[in-house]
Amino acid sequence: MRAQILKEIGLPLVLEEVSKPSPTSDQVLIRVHACGLCRTDLHIVDGELPPPKLPLILGHQIVGEIEKIGSDATGYNIGDKVGVPWLGQTCGKCPYCLAGRENLCDNAIFTGFSRNGGFAEYCVAHFRYIFPLSFPVADLNIAPLLCAGMIGYRALKMAGRAKKIGFYGFGSSAHLLLQVARAQGKEIYAFTRPNDTEGQRSALKLGAKWAGDSEMMPPEPLDAAIIFASVGALIPGALKALCKGGILITAGIHMSDIPSFSYNLLWGERVIRSVAHLTREDGEEFLTLARNTKVHAEATSYRLEEVNMALDDLRQGRLSGSAVISILT
């Protein structure tokens, strides 16, 4: 099969012919149709996360069709369309797993990081950590739901009953979660990069109550804020925008250093929380919600040969919505 291979951190991926993987007894073999590009992929390539397995096939927002089923894998049939997320497997025995907090498992396996992912024509996945898909839309528009959507949904859940919520960074996750939040009757205030008028127009078109750049204060105090951008310098300003008792959620797997800030920004029972990965329950809830509310993922398609171009477009902020690698066309 053809696959894009990360051989060394900091270098472009290399398109090669490699052996098609074989599923173990608890895995399925999936013919990849499309795979979304996530900022986590960029963090891996740029060396901003702990070292992954190398060589590595990146990609963890996979939509495909089951081609082969391991002897112990149940609940699926050949030809079923499924989605593969970032969380690829957990131990099922540690205190975190037993408490329903499998996203914190110390022995977790992650798709496109500790196990090969979807920037290839085929991949394997554990049968308990994939999702059946039944969306009446193109695979290109389903793929971003499998991480940008699911991780964003976990962050939104952490906001609890918050009515007025700020989204800092208006990329793939934010444009999906704005649609969900609006369906739940929440008011969204979108913060973009300075001078990103196109992003602000997009947010307003999707139903944001207000849009401005990240250096501005919203017209009224916020109940909660979610930082999607991997920029630690956004935290003091986001805290300043919160009302007393407000919640600040950081939704990325990586963030640049947070500058020091005055304690009075945190005082008043404001809370800072991070999101770590996702659980299968998050995924099931979000896919049901996305299907029922007809969430639309704006996506730009790239061929497998163009993965490095897509990574650079994401790095330079040239994308609107999500980037998706279309493999089966």
For 250-300, the pLDDT digits (tens) are: 999 999 999 999 999 999 999 999 999 999 999 999 999 999 999 999 899
Q: How far apart are CA 15 and CA 305, in angstroms?
A: 7
Strand arrangement, sheet containing 164-168: 210-213, 187-192, 164-168, 222-227, 242-250, 271-274
Percent of the chain with pLDDT over 90: 92
pLDDT for position 192: 94
**Mean pLDDT (whole number) for 38-60:** 96
Residue 292, C-beta contacts closer than 8 angstroms, at least 6 positions apart:
none
Q: How far apart are CA 41 and CA 53, in angstroms?
A: 13
Domains of the chain, CATH where assigned = 2-146+278-286+297-326 (3.90.180.10), 150-274 (3.40.50.720)
Provide the β-strand partners of residue 84.
62
Angle at 226 between CA 310 and CA 300, to 5 degrees: 20
Q: How far apart are CA 90 and CA 298, in angstroms?
A: 31
How confident is residue 321, by pLDDT bands cut at 50, 70 and 90?
Answer: confident
pLDDT for position 101: 96
pLDDT digits (tens, 9 = 90+) for 123-147: 999 999 999 999 889 999 999 999 9
What mean pLDDT is reported for the chain? Answer: 95
Model confidence at 69: pLDDT above 70 = yes
Query: Taking a C-beta distance cutoff of 8 angstroms, is the pair 92, 26 a contact?
Result: no
pLDDT digits (tens, 9 = 90+) for 83-127: 999 999 999 999 999 999 999 999 999 999 999 999 999 999 999
pLDDT for position 297: 92
How confident is residue 329, by pLDDT bands cut at 50, 70 and 90?
Answer: low
**Mean pLDDT (whole number) for 24-45:** 97
pLDDT for position 47: 95
Residue 187 or residue 199, greater confidence = 187
Model confidence at 249: pLDDT above 90 = yes
